[in-house]
Each structure stands twice: as structure tokens, then as C-alpha cells.
Structure 1
Amino acid sequence: MQRATLKAWFLVHKWTSLVCTVFLLLLCLTGLPLVFWEEISHLTGADPEVAPAAAGAQRANVDELVARALQQYPGDVPLFFGWDDHSPSVYVNTGARPDTPPPEMHTAVLHEYTGELLPVAPFNEGVMYFIYRLHTDVFVGLPGMLFLGAMALLFAVAIVSGLVLYAPFMRKLPFGTWRTGRSRRLAWLDLHNVLGIVTLGWAFVVGITGAINTLAQPLEQAWQTEQLGDFAKQYEGRPRPTRFTSLDAAIATARTAEPGMTPAFVSYPGTGYSGDHHYGVFMHGNTPLTERLYRPVLIDAETGELTARPQLPGYMTALLLSQPLHFGDYGGMPLKILWALLDLLTIAVLVSGLYLWAKRGSTEARVTEIERAGLAANGQDAAT
């Protein structure tokens, strides 16, 4: 590799790493407990256990469950109905009006079979929520999410440039060489390189999927405007219905329309997910990965007739797939443990990178070091 090209790649790696490292450390440190969010919630009692259904029990009528939830919040209207895939419980979101923003919604949790009201696990409070907000938007909403997404993209560039530099640096050295005899800085450099190359694929995937996840709100708005907006034009001039047909029957219709899928949640008219005249029954798959892929089934809220089954656009599919890939929560505890170990190794890469920057020499000296390492005989110490 030409010296000028090598120097250019070194500068790219140096500055992209420096700009994003502190924020990546924040994301790695906060992401570690988030991998085990469900387990921590169970241990702390924040997510109480739900009694299993009795043998042969039948699910309660959905309309009756919604009515019971509304009794808890007089004057509210129903907004969303959803299922917990890991327990026999359902939730009902209500609000003062159909376009109530999420922070102002009320939530009721009920047993899917008995209709018993269950404790509502607090989501927007506690240590785990604090960590979640730090990880996703540093408490400043969409601007914070987009900023962290930009840092994740810089991290991806740092990974690629580090790979380019790794090839000439390690050309004549065995993989995993860790030279500890003469220079502390050299030992840290070898540690940084070997951990970086071991975690490279995982870190790149997690960085890119993290950047995609920060675009969730704009992508959802684009989908609602593009696809649902075009669909809603067919109903322009018609007032939003005030009396709805049976939600239980609408869900049954959606199950028939998508027999290989199960319902994940239902949106009511006016919430932004299914227009002003339809239930949106969002179906998903039955495997740990496909349960994140949704297929909306639109049911006329006045007549109960199946109206449409629009396909999610590619960018929404990419968003939904990026979420389990980012957190590693689609393969059970073994995958979560692997994600945690790789997260810890990535923290070591970031810390060693900061150490190397603190003990830095001139750019010319660093490029010379890379060149000499590449020309060194096998096992020879390239340090001066």
C-alpha cells in the first residue's frame, strides 16, 4: 500500500474513532444491561409473573376485555390492544382522544383468559428506563436518536478503516500476536488489534442496526404518510365512525386472512396506524425472528369486512429486522450471553483505543510503525 494511501486511512481511522469513542462507550455500557432487560425485570419484580391459563380454558372475548379496561379510565377511548407473547396477558392503551400521544396514554393489563386486571409494569420509571433513555436518545428525543445514529455510522467507518490498516500491520505476524516484552504501548496496540478483529463482524452489524433503529420514528412516519396516506384518500370526506363493530370478530377475520401468523397488536381508527376508518390488526410470525415482522390487515371498523392487506415497504422490514439483531434477543439466553461477551470485548477495544490516543506520537511515526510491522520478520518485534 502506498504511504500516502496508508496515511489517509490512518487519519480516517483516527478521527472517526476519536469522535465516536466516548459515545460508543456510553452505548456499550448501557446496552449491556439492556440485553438482559427481561431477566432483570423479573428479578426486581418490575415485571410480575402471570398465572398460566387453566387446562381447557377459553380466551375471554376481546370486546369484554376492552370494556373492562375502559372502566378504569372513564371518558377515555380505546387506542391499541395487544398481546404479550411470553405470558397469557393482554394490554389495552386508552386516551382522551384517538390521537393521544404515547406519554399521555393510559394502560390496563388483563389476564387473557380470566379477564382479571393485573398490575401494570412501570415502563417510564426506574433504573432500567433511565438506562434505556441514555442508550436510545440521551433524554433529548429524536435529535438525540439521530445524533447517536450518526455516531454509530462513524463507528462503522472506523471499523472498516481499522480493517484496512490491520492487513499491512499484521502481514508478517501470526494472528493473535501480543508483544509484551519491550513496550507497554506496543502491548496495548496488539491487544487493540486482536480484539478489534475478533469483534469486527459483530460490532459492524450492531453499529449499522443501531443506526437504523435511530430512524424508527421518521421511517414509521414515512410509512404512515406514504402507504396509509394513499389508502386513506379513498375515504376522504367520510367522518370518522363513532360506533365500531366487534373487535373480537375483526381479529378472527384477520386470523383467517393470515392463517400462518398470529396477531401482535390492534390499532383503532384515528391512531395513525390504520387510517380513520379501520382496525389495523398487525399479524406477525411464530418464530423468534419472524415475530418481529408485521403484516397489517385492515378491517373496516363499521362493517367488519376485510379491506386490505398492505405489504410493509422494504425500509420498514429492514427496521423491524434490525431490532432483534441489535439486541440479540431472538435466540434465548445463549445468544444474550454471547452478545454480552462481545459487548465487553468491544468496550476493551474502545478503552485500548483511548489509551493509544493518549500515548500517541506523530502521524508520521504511527504510519512508519505500521509499515515496519508489515515488513518485520515473523515474530520479530517491530517496535523501536
Structure 2
Amino acid sequence: MSKIGLRKAWFQVHKWIGLILAILILPLSLTGAALVWDDALDHALNPQRYATSGNGTLAPQPYIAAARVVLQPGDAIASLTLPDAPGEPVVVSASPASGRQGVQGPPARITVWIDPASAHVLDVANNSGGLIRTLHMIHGSLLIPGVGRQIVGWIGVAMLLSCVSGLWLWWPTVGRWVRGLRWRRHRNTDTNLHHLLGFWIALPLFVLSLTGAWIAFPQVFGGGPNAMRTGPKGGRPVPLAQPQQALDAVLRSARAAHAGAVAKIDWPTDQKPMWKVAFVADATGVVVHDADGVAEIARAAPEPLARTMRRIHDGTQMGLLWQIVIFLGGLLPAILAVTGIIMWWRARGWRAQLKARQRARA
């Protein structure tokens, strides 16, 4: 195939990916841009959760007692997270009783926000509702039951091809590549905008599309169907409703093994019957076996690749610069989709006019 023929082929791939997926790319891109700042959104939408009365903290036990007052019988405590910054609340996460578990999607969770200074409950919410949860569902599955996650994954694969084909089409056919960076490559503003924004966002969008496809198809990238499992027995781990060890005893064992301020406590589960105690600004944690209360030092294990890919995709702990890139990686594809449709519609118009003139001459 000649260079001109190859360019025409890439153009057709790029055009039809953009046209067919435009209506799906818009909600995925815009929700992805919004979710980069999900913590800030939660602060704005639910200020009552962060209306703390002071920066002092109590022992963990009063927070658990306060949470149990608002939880339903049978709900199992999953974790307790102490504030890592002034003004932040204590957060208790719980797994609802088996009769109230979600069937699809992420594990059902109930979150309790507690004032660190007084142990007063600030808010209680289930992760199955709310605007932020809806944004996550749109971004992860387009609200399509069953196959929505796979559809989003294939959109990610298509976007990979769109990035590659877009770069090929952006590359100037004459002269050095820097000629492609000039603004006025075309007489229409929307076309110039499409070329220039497409170039600058191509590489970040390629990374976001790759990580998105990775998240959607973990069994493909992670080494088979077992990659979907979250524990050695398969399925989702469920916190034990009635652990054998009391929280007081667990904390005594953990502090005997390691000194420092506690940052987070994870309750034992049916798959791993052991408590996990993390300490402030310390990679070393303590594991306390629920069966006998024996404590062991546990250094942080290497982060799984799947977790790294998810952090790259959503910007968690990736720094402000990359979060801004992800934000733009959500906004700019929406602009590219709109300008691409305008370019296609205009091309249809002048092609129709050309055919009409050719018929008139004939």
C-alpha cells in the first residue's frame, strides 16, 4: 500500500471511530474529568461530613461505638481511618448485612463520618447512591447492566486506535514535523482546534485509554480468569461480623509490636482472618491474627500492577500535574468529538456540492 493509500485508510479508521463513538465518548470523558476531583466534589456537595469541631482525636473505640449506633444489626465494620490532616473527619466503613448486599458492581459499603474531637456522627451514606456514585457508574459501565464494563473497555481499545491514527493524520505530509504545531493549518477554526488539541492530548489519552482497558479486562492483562478474584478463595472478602479478638486487645498487641500513632485499622475478613493496623507516615504495619491475637510486623508489599494502572487512570496519589493532565484528558476528547462531527458534516456538504456540479456538467 502506498503512503497516500495508508493515510486514507488511517483517515477512515479515525473518522468512523470518532463518529460511531462520539455519543459514548462524551459521557465517559466528562465524568472522568469530574472524578479527578471527587474529594473536592464531595466536600462541596456534602459539607456536613466535614463540619468537624476540632483537630483533637480520641481513642478508636468511641468512634466504633458511635458508628454502631447508626448501623443496622448485622452490618460488619470493615475499617476505621483516622484523619490525616487537620479538619478531616474519622471515617468508618462497614459492610451491610448479607440481605442488603449489592448483586453487581463494587462491594456494597456504608460509610460513617465522625467528628474526631467529640465522636459525634456527622453523616451516614451507602455507596449505592449520590451524584459521585452515579458519575462512577457512568464512567465505569455507562449505566448498562451486565455488559457495560466490557463496552467501556472496548471503547478504550478503540480510543487507542484513534490516538495512533490521529497522530498519523496530524503528521505533516510536507516538511518537518514541527510544521504540525502551527495554528493555521486550515481556514476553519474548528479544524485547527481539532489538529492542535489532538496532538497535545494524544499521548496522555493513549495512556488513559490503555489503563481504562486494563481495568475493564483484568482477566486479559492480569493472566487469566483468576485475576478477577480478590482473594485466595475467590469472590469478594467479607468482614467478620463477630471477630474473636476485641479491638482493645488488637491495639495492645499492635502497639507492643510497633510504636507510633495509628492511621488505619482493617478488620479481619472471611478470606484473611487477621487485623491490619497501619501507622502514620510509616510503611511498616502490624498484622494481628484474629484466632490467637499474635501480632507480626508486616512491611508494605509491592503494589500490584493492577492497582498501579488504576492509580494512573484516576490520578490517586499521582500529584497535581498528572491530575491536571487527566482532567484535560477528559475535557479535550469531548471537544475533539464535537469538532470532528463538525468537520465531517462540512465535508459531506462540499462533497454533495461537488457531485451536483459534476452532474450539471455532464
User: Given the two structures, how large is their TM-score scaled by the length of structure 1?
Assistant: 0.68
SS of residue in 2 equivalent to 1:228 = coil
Distance in 2 (alpha carbons) for counterparts of 1:167 and 1:322:
29
CA apart distance, 1:91: 0.8
Q: Which amino acid aligns with 1:301?
A: D
| C-alpha contact (below 8 Å) 1:41/1:47 kept by paired residues | no
Distance in 2 (alpha carbons) for counterparts of 1:179 and 1:107:
53
Please give the residue correspondences for 1:198-217 in structure 2 after superposition, counting only pairs within 5 Å. 198-215=200-217
CA apart distance, 1:358: 2.6
CA apart distance, 1:158: 0.9
1:349 to 319, 336, 345: 336
Q: Partner of 1:14 in structure 2?
A: 15
Q: Partner of 2:92 in structure 1?
A: 91
Q: Partner of 1:305 in structure 2?
A: 294
Q: Partner of 1:246 in structure 2?
A: 246
Q: Partner of 2:43 in structure 1?
A: 42
SS of residue in 1 equivalent to 2:182 = coil
Q: Partner of 2:355 in structure 1?
A: none
2:152 to 141, 148, 158: 148
| C-alpha contact (below 8 Å) 2:49/2:89 kept by paired residues | no
Q: Partner of 2:163 in structure 1?
A: 159
Counting aligned pairs with the same residue, the percent is 21
Q: Tell me the alpha carbon deviations over residues 288-317 of structure 1, each in whole angstroms, 9 at most, x when there is no partner.
A: xxxxxx999653212122469597687xx3
Gap regions ≥5 residues in structure 1:
231-239, 288-293, 366-384
Distance in 1 (alpha carbons) for counterparts of 2:80 and 2:175:
55
CA pair 249-311 structure 1, distance change in 2 beyond 3 A = same
Distance in 1 (alpha carbons) for counterparts of 2:67 and 2:51:
17
SS of residue in 2 equivalent to 1:169 = coil
Distance in 2 (alpha carbons) for counterparts of 1:253 and 1:71:
27
Alignment of 1:178 onto 2:184? yes
Q: Partner of 1:375 in structure 2?
A: none
CA apart distance, 1:176: 1.9
SS of residue in 1 equivalent to 2:171 = helix
CA pair 50-355 structure 1, distance change in 2 beyond 3 A = same
SS of residue in 1 equivalent to 2:49 = coil
1:70 to 60, 68, 71: 68
CA apart distance, 1:327: 3.3
| C-alpha contact (below 8 Å) 1:20/1:152 kept by paired residues | no
CA apart distance, 1:154: 0.9
Distance in 2 (alpha carbons) for counterparts of 1:52 and 1:332:
29
Distance in 2 (alpha carbons) for counterparts of 1:285 and 1:61:
14
CA pair 89-242 structure 1, distance change in 2 beyond 3 A = closer
Distance in 2 (alpha carbons) for counterparts of 1:320 and 1:284:
21
Distance in 1 (alpha carbons) for counterparts of 2:112 and 2:8:
60
Q: Which amino acid aligns with 2:165?
A: S
CA pair 116-323 structure 1, distance change in 2 beyond 3 A = same
| C-alpha contact (below 8 Å) 1:10/1:161 kept by paired residues | yes
Distance in 2 (alpha carbons) for counterparts of 1:308 and 1:224:
28
Gap regions ≥5 residues in structure 2:
235-239, 352-362
Q: Which amino acid aligns with 1:69?
A: A
CA pair 323-16 structure 1, distance change in 2 beyond 3 A = same
CA apart distance, 1:147: 1.1
Distance in 2 (alpha carbons) for counterparts of 1:168 and 1:159:
16
CA pair 39-59 structure 1, distance change in 2 beyond 3 A = same
| C-alpha contact (below 8 Å) 2:66/2:120 kept by paired residues | no
CA apart distance, 1:180: 4.8
Alignment of 1:325 onto 2:312? yes
Q: Tell me the alpha carbon deviations over residues 62-82 of structure 1, each in whole angstroms, 9 at most, x when there is no partner.
A: 4x5334433334532524013
Q: Partner of 1:24 in structure 2?
A: 25
CA pair 34-242 structure 1, distance change in 2 beyond 3 A = closer
CA apart distance, 1:26: 1.5
CA pair 5-90 structure 1, distance change in 2 beyond 3 A = same
SS of residue in 2 equivalent to 1:199 = helix
Q: Tell me the alpha carbon deviations over residues 257-307 of structure 1, each in whole angstroms, 9 at most, x when there is no partner.
A: 78899755514322xxx43x333x2759959xxxxxx99965321212246
Distance in 1 (alpha carbons) for counterparts of 2:174 and 2:260:
51
Q: Partner of 1:359 in structure 2?
A: 346
1:192 to 177, 188, 194: 194
CA apart distance, 1:225: 4.5
Distance in 2 (alpha carbons) for counterparts of 1:154 and 1:50:
44
Q: Partner of 2:268 in structure 1?
A: 268
Q: Which amino acid aligns with 1:129?
A: R
CA RMSD of aligned residues (A): 4.4
Distance in 2 (alpha carbons) for counterparts of 1:11 and 1:65:
60
Distance in 1 (alpha carbons) for counterparts of 2:192 and 2:35:
30
